[in-house]
Amino acid sequence: MKLSDEVISTLRDYIAYSRDEDGEKIALILKEYQVFFSRWRSRFDDSDYFAREQAADRCEHTTSWAYLYALSSSVFDHARGKNDTIGRPEYLKDNVASALRLSTIIHGQEDNFEEYVNLYQRRYNRHFGN
């Protein structure tokens, strides 16, 4: 799920020349992506990590990627004119839950993820100020 350097460069150009709230939100989404991707890569650098990983860790990791999916989906929905703003908070929790339902990892464990979905909703509210 790594973004190419070209995509990151394009997003940075948009952020640099944007004079609206959308540029700020895209900057926050890009920051979230970079933090999550760095954390994810560090887990792969630790050869014993996955042997020690607990079910709660898998729930959190899976939800973090569903959160990024929901954030990026909001950018595409906005670009297509489906939403008037990026990252509408009232849709985030549903979009994260929807992305999780697409994952075969959580089949039969939906209740285990509710805590993490709520955690990322609070994270979104904190970072995006909604």
Each residue's pLDDT tens digit, 41-82: 776 666 665 556 666 677 777 788 888 888 887 777 777 777
Structure confidence by residue, pLDDT tens digits, 4-55 = 788 788 888 888 888 788 888 888 888 888 888 887 777 666 666 555 666 6
Q: With CA atoms as reference, report the closest residue to 99 among 55, 64, 125.
A: 64
pLDDT at residue 36 in the model: 81
What domain range is 56 assigned to? 5-128
pLDDT at residue 117 in the model: 82
For the chain, what is the domain count?
Answer: 1
Question: Does this model's pTM top 0.85?
Answer: no
Tokens coding 125 = 């509210």
* Alpha-carbon gap, residue 108 to 111, rounded angstroms: 8
Q: Are 77 and 87 in contact (CB under 8 A)?
A: no
DSSP 98: H
Structure confidence by residue, pLDDT tens digits, 77-114 = 777 777 777 766 667 777 787 777 776 555 566 667 77
